Amino acid sequence: MDKPTRSLPQPTPETQHFWEGTQAEQLLLQRCTQCTHTYFPPRPFCPSCSSRSVEVYAASGRATLASYVINQRPHPAFDGPYAIALVDLEEGPRMMTNIVECAQTPEALQLDMPLEVRFEQVSEDIKLPLFAPAKIAPAKIAPAGESK
Amino acid sequence: MTGVAVVGAAETTELGKIPHLSQMQLHADAALNAMADAGLTAKDIDGIATAGERPTDLAYYLGITPTWVDGTSVGGCSFMLHVRHAVAAIASGQCTTVLITHGESGRSGVGRSGFPRAPASLAGQFEVPFGPMGPPTMFTLPVLRYMKDYGMTHEQLAMVAVVQREWASMNPRASFQEEITVDDVLNSKMIAYPFHLLECCLVTDGGGALILTKADRAADFPQPPVHILGTGESVETPMISQMDDLTSSRAFKVAGSFAMRDAGISHAEVDHLMVYDAFAHLPIYGLEDLGFCKKGEAADFIWEQNTAPGGCLPMNTNGGGLSYMHSGMYGMYALQESVRQIRGTAPAQVKDANVSLCLGVGGMFGASGCIVFGKEPK
Ligand SMILES: [Zn+2]
């Protein structure tokens, strides 16, 4: 359980489903039913073709480490230096997150390392999607569309 | 050419630590200096543009009755966008003489309005909860990707700061003037790996202002005109995590290529370059996105001293945001240096500076504005 000192997201009508999803430990993405583009962050239309015909689906939770910094300045929600990371989801979108179950060092945090989603309760209403080094090699994982 | 020229340009009387002036007075101090430079008073100004403060507040404070107002606020390159919009306004007859101001109590925080990110905004929901603490932990996020994809080393990133300090050592108004080495940079305090203190911009107080009018009126002013040859602008995303490509700025590419096309110039015609450098990687992204270097080659280009004093493409000749000054919205100081170089009055003057290209960034790769200045109307 995280300390209660992170800034918390305040869901809007357009993002409510995403945060309900993380509460249920699902990482929900949106996909355009016209052009099949998958996108993030949530909005009720496709940023690629402007169609309002979109659907919500559960992502695999698998990602790779795209980039990061290790912040050295103290933050009340973290113990010591911590990585702010960008991860590329298997489905295409990129998101900001933190990497857990891993030393916060350049040696441990290798770009392109496989990751899998974790959900961390940070308030009564909010679980944040965080990522940990993948336990199983990506090729051997079950097909996409499932969540843990 | 646009038919519009800069006829007045000045920074605040002081730069650095100015706790005895409010942010609004920093705008006004720069504006008064620019009006004096152009031989004008507030009564001669009929267009106003500013960011950081509202144009309403500033027009009232200075005693200006404008027929044209622009409050475009997209971060540190807002002033590039103001120049561009002013060119269009003057050319279409909406006003004749535009004042663009910047003032920021970035260090002292006197009368400064903040930039809060609402918890319901996209960034507030999908970035802020993960612990970013301002630009040093956000603007820097794409760089490890760039380093891995293009083989840039920590030493090469550090060299950006070393070269800019070389320029700053020639500038008596620069905040830091003592020359440094790559080792000095790499031994400076780690702020957010891979960024050390000397690879991050300064935090200072200051301001600047520009006055634009039709180039055919330029003979009426005491200073030689600095012609605006071309302009460009764009925006990409308010979230660094959502850049199209972590190794390139789409807004740089759009704004830069438009401005160069608008000016009708080739890369070889650019004598002097300013690339907004809030952090050491920005000149590398700028050189590549503007097309001065091929993808992945800008770090070598800087390492080989091409942008240093005596190099073939002098860049950030005031010392930049890394060594000259950085109040928060640095774009105005980059524009001021371009104007000084074209006028021939810069402390580190580049020989035969006839064309200067000035590229700004806003937010964190969120926006860009680009202005091409020339000694001749072209
Ligand atoms: Zn679509």
In a domain, B343, yes or no: no
Assess if residue B157 is contained within a domain: yes
- CB atoms near residue B173 (< 10 Å): 16
pLDDT tens sequence across B329-345: 999 999 999 999 999 99
| Bridge partners (DSSP) listed for residue A94 | A88
pLDDT above 90 for A136 = no
Domain around B65 = 4-113+204-226
Q: How close is the Cα of A52 to the center of ligand 1, in Å?
A: 8
Please give the pLDDT value at position B164: 97
Catalytic site residue from B146, B285, B324, B333: B324
Q: Is residue B24 part of a domain?
A: yes
Mean pLDDT, range B92-103, rounded to an integer: 98
Residues B145 and B67 in one domain: no
Identify the contact set of chain B against chain A, taking CB-CB distances under 8 A.
118-120, 122, 124-133, 136-138, 140-145, 148, 189-195, 239-242, 246
Residue of B nearest to A69 (CA): B193
Confirm whether B324 is a catalytic residue: yes
Q: For the full predicted model, state whether its pTM sits above 0.90.
A: yes
Helix extents (H) in B63-102: 78-91
The pLDDT of residue B301: 98
What residues does the ion ligand 1 have nearby, CB within 5 Å?
A 32, 34-35, 37, 46, 48-49, 51
Q: Does A132 touch chain B (CB under 8 A)?
A: no
Cβ contacts of B86 within 8 Å, gap of 6 or more: B4, B47, B49, B68, B70, B98, B100, B212
State the pLDDT at residue B113. 59
Q: Is residue B119 part of a domain?
A: no
Q: Are residues B268 and B163 in the same domain?
A: yes
Give CA–CA dist A128/A138, Å, rounded.
23
Quick one: B248 and B360 in the same domain?
yes
A113 touches chain B (CB under 8 A): no
Asked if residue B337 is part of any domain, the answer here is no
Q: What is the ipTM of this complex?
A: 0.91
Domain identity same for B290 and B367: yes
Q: In what order do the strands lie in the sheet with B367-374?
A: B68-70, B47-50, B98-105, B205-214, B4-11, B226-235, B367-374, B355-362, B272-275
Phi, psi of B129 (to 5 degrees): -60, -15
pLDDT at A139 over 70: no
And the tokens for A144? 């996409």
The per-residue pLDDT for B111 is 81
Are B108 and B188 within one domain?
Answer: no
Give the tens place of pLDDT for each residue, B257-271: 999 999 999 999 999
The number of domains in chain B is 2
Separation of alpha carbons A65 and A88, rounded Å: 6
Whether B246 and B281 map to the same domain: the answer is: yes
Hey, what are B282's tokens?
Answer: 């920005």
pLDDT category of residue A145 using cuts at 50, 70 and 90: very low
B108, B149: one domain:
no
DSSP, residue by residue, B28-46: HHHHHHHHHHHT--GGG--
Tokens of B185: 């940079």
And the tokens for B268? 């070889």
Task: Provide the pLDDT for residue B378.
Answer: 79
Structure confidence at residue B1 (pLDDT): 77
CA atoms within 13 A of residue A144's CA, in its CB half-sphere = 13
Residue whose token pair is 């006003």: B95
Q: Is B276 a catalytic residue?
A: yes
Tell whether B210 and B256 lie within a shared domain: no
Asked if residue B123 is part of any domain, the answer here is no
When computed from its CA atoms, the radius of gyration of chain A, rounded to whole angstroms, is 16
